[in-house]
Structure 1
Amino acid sequence: MTATTFAEAQAWIVSVGRWLDGKGWAPATSGNYSARLDDGSFAVTVSGRHKGRLTPDDVMRVDAAGASLDGKKPSAETALHLALYTLFPECGAVLHSHSAANVGLSRAAYAGSYSFAGHEMLKALPGNPTHDASVAIPIVDNSQDMAVIEAAIAPRLLAPGAAPAYLIRGHGLYGWGKDMAEAERVIEAVEWMIAAELAERSFRG
């Protein structure tokens, strides 16, 4: 886990917002990003801000209970970020993307997870040294109540060998890592594998 100063987190979050928006993974004002700070608080995106046009003023601080420390309104999904920091003390950053591909996959007729097997990109996931593996990404039903999502997904994320990522059905992808660079790598790897699976299905007909 890498904790950081608020100024460093602001710069990282502004940068990652532009990157995700450039990929088409943050349409409208969707998505939210966070980082663990070295004083025990958390930097999170302010609610309702376009992620491709973030400035440092669009990043705020909350305490471990999700209460604003600077009078700004945090993203509605801040509770899901904080749940991950609680579950994984080594976690230093959390990202949430909304690509059409990940939403489409989560809405398709799959049960509680989708498995990726044989992809070279599996090696981008922490703790997975080979393509010769199968990794299941959990899919949890959406809810306007963050506590419902948290209760449904937490036991599955703690299972042995679980990947640092999950999908909310019809909503988007969460990925995290020890720092922002690792969280970016997780999100990009899972998004790439989803796109590759769709391409394979298209070629197979």
Structure 2
Amino acid sequence: MRGTSGNLSVVVGTSPLRLAVTASGLDKGEMTSSDVVLIDASGAALSQGVPSAEAGLHGRIAAVSGAGAVVHVHALAPVLAAERWPSGVVLRDLEMLKGFGRSAHDDVVTIPVVPNSQDMTVLGDAFEAGYRADTPALIVARHGLYVWGSDLHQARHRTECLEWLLRFIIET
């Protein structure tokens, strides 16, 4: 994650939903345990600190998808892909799709693209409207990429694979 961009969350409780999310405005490469804020499903802080501005979307993704972790990055490839394909980014017949949890061949994967908003309820509604259980990712136009998984390791792995896939289709 470049500079202070992006954020991470991990589900720490499900009834009620509770997430540990990175605090706002911090360099994610230099974080300590005090740079994490406990939030509820709506993104409201339950502990000391200011959660990421996107905490509410993290909560919504976890609630709808059942994910154990969400990774949000401000990578260039998804932003460019959303500019080129604003109705969704179609991926097919690429070996790296396996790392994203899909088949490498004879499988069409469409990554939903939603318009950016500073209102997490609006973004959450857009996410939910395009949600597909078999596609653990969302591109927010002119903003970045959200990818989720059963845990932080899987979410990070899927993020890396998807970023590669998006770079490939942009460059070809």
Name the TM-score, length of structure 1 as normaliser. Answer: 0.77
Residue 121 of structure 1 contacts residue 131 of structure 1 at CA under 8 Å; is this kept in 2?
A: no
The match for 2:106 is 132
Q: Identity across aligned pairs (percent)? A: 37
Equivalent in the alignment of 2:74 = 98
Q: Give 2:63's aligned residue.
A: 86
Equivalent residues in 2 for 1:145-184 (5 A)?
145-158=119-132, 162-184=134-156
Mapped partners of 2:134, 2:13: distance in 1? 27
- Distance across 1 between alignment mates of 2:97 and 2:109: 8
In the TM superposition, what whole-angstrom CA distance separates every residue of 1:66-115 from its partner, at most 9, and x where no partner exists?
222222110010000000111023x100000111222222223x231010
CA RMSD of aligned residues (A): 1.7
Q: How far apart are the structure 2 equivalents of 1:197 and 1:63?
A: 37
Q: Which has the higher strand share?
A: 2
For the 8 Å contact 1:140–1:168, the answer to whether it is kept is yes
Task: Kindly report which structure 2 residues correspond to 1:1-205, keeping only aligned pairs within 5 A, or say none.
Answer: 26-38=1-13, 40-89=17-66, 91-108=67-84, 110-126=85-101, 128-158=102-132, 162-199=134-171, 201=172
Taking the aligned partners of 2:140 and 2:63, their CA distance within structure 1 comes to 19
Once residues 112 and 42 of structure 2 are traced to their aligned partners in structure 1, the CA distance between those partners, rounded to angstroms, is 25
2:59 match: secondary structure: helix
Deviation string 1:94-143 (CA, Å, 9 cap, x unpaired) is 000111222222223x23101011100111123x2433321000100001
How many residues in Structure 1 have an aligned counterpart in Structure 2?
A: 170
Instruction: Compute the TM-score of the two structures, normalised by the length of structure 2.
Output: 0.91
Cα pair 1:115 1:134 within 8 Å, conserved: yes
- Give secondary structure in 1 for the equivalent of 2:113: strand
Over 2 Å off, 4+ runs:
38-41, 63-67, 128-132
In 2, the alpha carbon distance for the partners of 1:50 and 1:155 equals: 32
Could you tell me which amino acid in structure 2 is paired with residue 151 of structure 1? D
Distance in 2 (alpha carbons) for counterparts of 1:131 and 1:164: 18
- Change in Cα spacing, 1:100 to 1:129, as seen in structure 2 (3 Å) is closer
Q: Which has the larger radius of gyration?
A: 1
